[in-house]
Amino acid sequence: MKKNRWLRISGFVLSAVLVLGSIAGCSNTPGTTSTPTTTDQGVGVLKPASRLKVATTSSLYDTGLWALLEPMFEKEYGVEVDVLYANTGIAIQYGQRGDVDIITVHDKARELTFIADGYGTTRSAFAYNYFVIVGPASDPLGLKGLSAEEAFKKLAASKTTPFVSRGDSSGTHSKEQAIWKAAGFNYTDIRNSGAWYVEAGQGMGPTLQLAAQKQAYTLSDVGTFLAYKSQTGLTSIVDKGSILLNVYAAIPVNPAKVAVTNSAMATKMAEWLMSPAIQKIIGDYGVKDFGTPLFTPCAGNEPTG
């Protein structure tokens, strides 16, 4: 009798392990037929060499551009593309650590440093658009028609209507700091000048939502702004001026400096983004959903002002 009891106990422990184990087993065996969900790679792990890791600034992701480009590249080159969206600061860090093969970001100064420090090979500026200062439709400070610098001066002077900053070391955050500087302010002073200056510490989407809740102004890339326009109810206040230029560039990580896994494919991707066919697709992107293209392709003729 005692033996029998032990058998049953071990039986049910074993079945418990099996239930969970069979679930778990699929994590390492792609293509297991017992699961309906492993039609693609499921949770399986391909060899690192057959994956290309791209760290992208979230604006290229949130606008849906990467969702369009990713499968196209995968099909053409037979590689699995992993798109990690982060802000420019984090994307650059991933690159420096060798955790991704290529970065697509938008902060020229930091990109040049990245290359100068040996982390990146070449910079391919593939598209641009503009930053916009957005705010409530009522435009409480009457910033419409001003330049970005004048608008920032007025914001800092009034200290009544809040301004929401990304505050996250993103490309947009860098641009904001550049505008404060151009407007003649010390950024640290602005940060500490009172409750009107709000730091979201989040991506563009959540920052726009926070600005909408607070009926505040914020700086956004035009793509993400348009993608969130209907939910937030914010409108474009200032959208002109060379300081608002926003150039997106792809930089493969330098295999001579950091141990990346798929350097050759990364170079191919940068070239691919600059190819006429893909440039055309980028230039047309957004017309269907937003009535206006979100990006202007600029391979070979990067705008400077």
Partner 1 sequence: MEEIWLGLQRAVELILTADQDVKEAAWRSLSISATASVIAAIISLPLGSLIFHSSFPGKRLLISFIHTLFSLPTVLVGLFVFLLFSRSGPLGEFGLLFTPTIMIIGQALLVTPLMLGLVISALAGIDRLAKETAIALGANRWQMSILMVKEARYAIFTAFILGFGRAISEVGLALMVGGNIRGFTRVLTTAISLETSKGDIELSLAMGIILLAIALFINLVLSWLQQRGAVIKTRPVV
DSSP letter for each residue of 57-113 = EHHHHHTSHHHHHHHHHHHHHT-EEEEEEE-HHHHHHHHHHTS-SEEEE--HHHHHH
Instruction: Name which position in 31, 68, 97, 117 contacts partner 1 (CB under 8 A).
Output: 97
Backbone angles phi, psi at 302, to 5 degrees: -65, 125
Instruction: Name which position in 259, 288, 301, 305 contacts partner 1 (CB under 8 A).
Output: 259
**Interacting span for partner 1 (CB under 8 A) from 16-24, 188-196, 272-280, 283-291:** 16-24
Smallest gap from Cβ 15 to partner 1, in A, equals: 7
Instruction: Name which position in 130, 225, 228, 295 contacts partner 1 (CB under 8 A).
Output: 228
Instruction: Name which position in 72, 80, 182, 198 contacts partner 1 (CB under 8 A).
Output: 80
Considering the rule CB under 8 A, would residue 203 count as an interface residue with partner 1? yes
Instruction: Name which position in 52, 65, 79, 85 contacts partner 1 (CB under 8 A).
Output: 85
Smallest gap from Cβ 25 to partner 1, in A, equals: 8
Instruction: Name which position in 56, 202, 263, 267 contacts partner 1 (CB under 8 A).
Output: 202
Considering the rule CB under 8 A, would residue 29 count as an interface residue with partner 1? no
Q: Which amino acid is at 67?
A: A
Considering the rule CB under 8 A, would residue 293 count as an interface residue with partner 1? no
Q: Which is nearer to partner 1, 2 or 288 (CB)?
A: 2
Backbone angles phi, psi at 279, to 5 degrees: -60, -40
Q: Which is nearer to partner 1, 151 or 200 (CB)?
A: 200
Token digits for 280? 């055309």
The C-alpha atoms of residue 179 and residue 106 are separated, in whole angstroms, by: 15
Strand, helix or coil at 296? strand
Considering the rule CB under 8 A, would residue 258 count as an interface residue with partner 1? yes
Instruction: Name which position in 33, 37, 292, 304 contacts partner 1 (CB under 8 A).
Output: 37
The C-alpha atoms of residue 300 and residue 125 are separated, in whole angstroms, by: 8
The C-alpha atoms of residue 59 and residue 134 are separated, in whole angstroms, by: 16
Q: Which residues, including other chains, have CB under 8 Å from residue 197's CB and lie 6 or more apart?
A: 162, 163, 165, 190, 191
**Interacting span for partner 1 (CB under 8 A) from 95-103, 112-120, 189-197, 287-295:** 95-103
Smallest gap from Cβ 84 to partner 1, in A, equals: 4
Beta bridge partners of 134: 218, 236
Count of residues binding partner 1 (CB under 8 A)?
49
DSSP letter for each residue of 229-291 = HHHH--EEEE--SGGGEEEEEEEEB-TTTS--S-HHHHHHHHHHHHSHHHHHHHHHTTHHHHS
Asked if residues 108 and 257 have their Cβ atoms less than 8 Å apart, the reply is no
Considering the rule CB under 8 A, would residue 42 count as an interface residue with partner 1? yes
Smallest gap from Cβ 297 to partner 1, in A, equals: 24
Inter-axis angle of helices 171-182 and 148-158, nearest 10? 80
Question: Count of residues for the chain?
Answer: 305
Site for partner 1, rule CB under 8 A: 5, 8-9, 12, 15-17, 19-21, 23-24, 26-28, 35-37, 40-45, 48, 53, 62, 67, 80, 82-85, 96-99, 202-203, 205-206, 209, 228, 231-232, 258-261
